[in-house]
Amino acid sequence: MSSVHFEVDGAVAVLRLDNPPVNSLGHELRRAIVEALVRAEDDPAVQAIILIGSGKGFSGGADIREFGTPKSLAAPNLHGVLRAVEECTKPVIAAIDGICMGGGLELALCCHYRIAAANARLALPEVKLGLLPGAGGTQRLPRLIGVEAALSMIVSGATISLDKLRGTPLFDAVADGDLASFALEFARAVIAERRGIKRVRDLAIRMPNAEAYFQFARNTVKSVAGPYPAPLACVEAVAAAAQQPFDSGLKRERELFVSLMASPESAALRHVFQAERAAAHIKGLPESVATRPISRVGVVGAGTMGGGITMSFINAGLPVTLVETTQEALDRGLANIRRNYQNALRKGSLTEAKLEQRLALITPGLQFETLRDADLVVEAVFEDLEVKRRVFERLDEVVKTGAILASNTSTLDLDAIAGFTKRPQDVIGLHFFSPANIMRLLEVVRGAKTAHDTLATAMALAKTIGKIAVVAGVCDGFIGNRMVARYGLAAHDLLVAGALPQQIDAALQNFGMAMGPFRMADLAGLDIGWAIRKRRAAESPDEDFANIADILCEAGRFGQKTGAGFYRYEAGAREAIPDPAVSAIVEGFRHSKGVVPRPVSDAEVVERCVYALINEGARIVDEGIAQRSSDVDLVYLNGYGFPAYRGGPMFYADTVGLITVARGLTRIAATAGAQAQFWTPAPLLARLAREGRTFSESTGSST
Ligand code: NAD
């Protein structure tokens, strides 16, 4: 069946685009549009043509799945379609409702008339993929809504509702009531009044102060674009629209688009976009699995995580029963939640009414019995297996059959936790990140016995609460914490070798990490790792767990919360100030290990820390803990501040070249003594490097 429905009503041909869910302009739809246009042109009875959408609206734009494939270039390409529309000898009217974005809006801009329904939402979001609208959007939009408004839409990629654009020449009319019948009436008027063909390209832009304006725009955009080239390229393209004849402006837009398409930043952003879609596909999970309905949730523990998790649910309108052990702990938890919302209220991102509405969704309690009717319960109590045992045994007793029992554990064995119940098929890990109401990442931990529908329900729930869910297998630290542990060890080794925390943090922040490892450790609190190392040292007395952080902890330096850690902090401030006392502790540690300090370059810092991440990521993929390398990227991008313009550690490895990474690791391993195994290239990495392949093509976003 064609993806364009063709109907003739009197003298008007109606071309209804039908490529669910968003009428993306893939090859089949492009071909069908051109074919339908030719048919309408050839039909002597037709005097005007309407292009109208269906489903979610007019068109969501290019089909990103075609990017980089021969289909994206296959004739007719988007330019061919736009030319066919613009050069059509009969008036073409775009009837826009719902979404009209990217290539979809560029298609509408090539039509001779545009009418819109009140629900129309428009955007040129290409900048979010490190690109610019490359099919005339930067040239035509300013001719209709003015240079400033167009530039703001193009540089921000923001979605604009019809109301903001009402009254501009972008729309010839706004429909009240049914768009299709309004469009027919409009088309008949165009014919009757012989309004003819109006091409946007023929409109002139008059801007006497253009040069000064664009200089100002360049400066403003440069100061916020950071490492991304696309926003500035958008300014250049719009400047060409304002300062050059249409065809040379179009040529300039093309050149800029082609150079952005080849930029590593855009490749990384497109990888992230694809990765988010791929993560929703779970290997071995039949499409037909029905999810369980979730209309009431329980949360056990109202501490740091329990509070944030509760907020995530109530923000999405899901009622939560929140259970604690004491009234005091419960009151504290509720007060924290209220304080968080009050901060949002002060910033203007929440209204008083909404705040009260959300808080009213919480039913606080001290009895597990109140969780009886929950469809899903998330446990967020202390990280102690015995405490978890008691909680899960109790949940097994009271919570209704068929409910999902989830643990937020960071490090404990989920299969052991599932074993505390008589329903391990209903048990899953939901590993939120702190602050849980803000961080978008959710590791969904699949236990050995987790049922298909438990997993499918957790993934659907993640979507409901606006999280990016990544499936992880059971192991110590799952994906993210297992990787960050290796990264932390690499950073610690560099400290011992001769660097200081401030140098290591600065080198990694210059690489693009949101925060260096020592600032991050200070923020998270050094005492947690200290307790874990003490436990591990007691369990394995022959291994060396000594860490400079332990000496800091012994001196009462637990990080930001005590005003000192790897840095010192002024009261009430978050600025990490290098501290000579820490340098002395580091020197003392080196001395105790017989280490003679050596110079460490920033390049070595980046190489060691990032390669440590990549090597562990490869092991995680090889062991099946992550389904694909792009899932590892998503975890590290969304949970640990890896720069999006580098696409995540595994994508970064692909861009560096796996052979280079493998050689670097082998070189480090040769001098790593007892740690040689840690640095030896992981089997998957070594194999792909030998074969000249990448993570992305071998495990990337395949589903
Ligand atoms: P927390 O100490 O802030 O809160 C734990 C809460 O659980 C306390 O309020 C305590 O009173 C309550 N509690 C203890 N036993 C209980 C019981 N039997 N019934 C009801 N409530 C009980 O700890 P947290 O940082 O919120 O961590 C909770 C869990 O989340 C741990 O498993 C932790 O590993 C995991 N986690 C923590 C983080 C983080 O950054 N803090 C991130 C991800 C996961």
d(CA 552, CA 546): 12
Catalytic status, residue 287: no
Secondary structure letter of residue 127 according to DSSP: G
pLDDT of residue 702: 40
Q: Which residues are CB-contacts of 328 (< 8 A; sequence separation ≥ 6)?
A: none
The amino acid present at 443, given as its one-letter code, is E
Lowest mean pLDDT among 293-297, 535-539, 626-630: 535-539
The amino acid occupying position 53 is G
* Alpha-carbon distances, residue 62 vs 27, 34, 107, 111, 216 (angstroms): 9, 16, 10, 17, 32
Mind listing the pLDDT tens digit for each residue in 277-323? 999 999 889 888 999 999 999 999 999 999 999 999 999 999 999 99
Say how many Å lie between the CA of residue 388 and the centre of ligand 1: 10
d(CA 355, CA 340): 10
As a whole number of angstroms, the distance between CA 393 and CA 420 comes to: 6
Q: Are 139 and 253 in contact (CB under 8 A)?
A: yes
Place of tokens 């919302």: 341
Rounded to an integer, what distance in angstroms lies between the CA atom of residue 191 and that of residue 47? Answer: 7
| Mean predicted lDDT score pLDDT of the chain | 95
Residue 66 has a pLDDT of: 84
Banded model confidence at residue 703, pLDDT cuts 50, 70, 90: very low
In this prediction, residues 553-570 reach a mean pLDDT of 96
**7, 35, 41, 106: which is the annotated catalytic residue?**
106
The answer to whether 276 is a known catalytic residue is: no
DSSP 289: P
The Cβ of residue 583 has, within 10 Å, a number of other Cβ atoms equal to 13
Query: How much distance in Å is there from the Cα of 601 to the middle of ligand 1?
Result: 40
State which ligand 1 atom lies nearest to the alpha carbon of 394: 18
Atom 15 of ligand 1 has which residue's CA nearest to it? 381
Percent of the chain with pLDDT over 90: 91
Q: Report the candidate in 280, 633, 274, 273 with the shortest Cα–Cα distance to residue 460.
A: 280
What's the number of CA atoms in the CB half-sphere (13 Å) around residue 126? 31
The alpha carbon of 89 and the centre of ligand 1 are apart by a number of angstroms equal to 68
Residues 6+ apart with CB under 8 A from 616: 482, 483, 486, 487, 682
Host H or E run for residue 406: strand 404-407
Q: How confident is the model at residue 1 (pLDDT cuts 50, 70, 90)?
A: low
Q: Is the pLDDT of residue 395 over 60?
A: yes
Probe target for ligand 1 pocket from 382, 412, 478, with the most ligand atoms within 8 Å of CB: 382
Atom in ligand 1 nearest the alpha carbon of residue 391: 18
Q: Write the DSSP assignment of 190-224 as a string of letters.
A: HHHTT-----GGG-----TTHHHHHHHHHHHHHHH
The stretch 27-43 carries a mean pLDDT of 97
For the chain, the maximum distance between any two Cα atoms, rounded to a whole number of angstroms, is: 94
Question: Among 70, 71, 1, 76, which Cα is nearest to 35's?
Answer: 76
* Average pLDDT over every residue of 132-150: 97
Over range 538-551, report the average pLDDT: 89
Residues 633 and 647 sit within 8 Å (Cβ to Cβ):
yes
How many residues are there in the chain? 703
Ligand 1, pocket residues at CB < 6 Å: 300-306, 323-325, 329, 380-383, 387, 390-391, 408-410, 431-434
pLDDT digits (tens, 9 = 90+) for 685-699: 999 999 999 999 886
pTM to 2 decimals? 0.93
Q: How far is the CA of 409 from the centre of ligand 1 (A)?
A: 9
Whether residue 695 contacts residue 662, with contact meaning beta carbons closer than 8 Å, is answered with no
Residue 281 structure tokens: 């596909």
The letter for the amino acid at 521 is: A
| Cα 380 to averaged position of ligand 1 atoms, centre (Å) | 4
pLDDT in tens, 155-180: 999 999 999 999 999 999 999 889 99
What does the pLDDT look like over 430-483, one tens digit per residue? 999 999 999 999 999 999 999 999 999 999 999 999 999 999 999 999 999 999
CA angle, corner 534, sides to 528 and 537, nearest 5? Answer: 140
Nearest CA to ligand 1 atom 4: 303
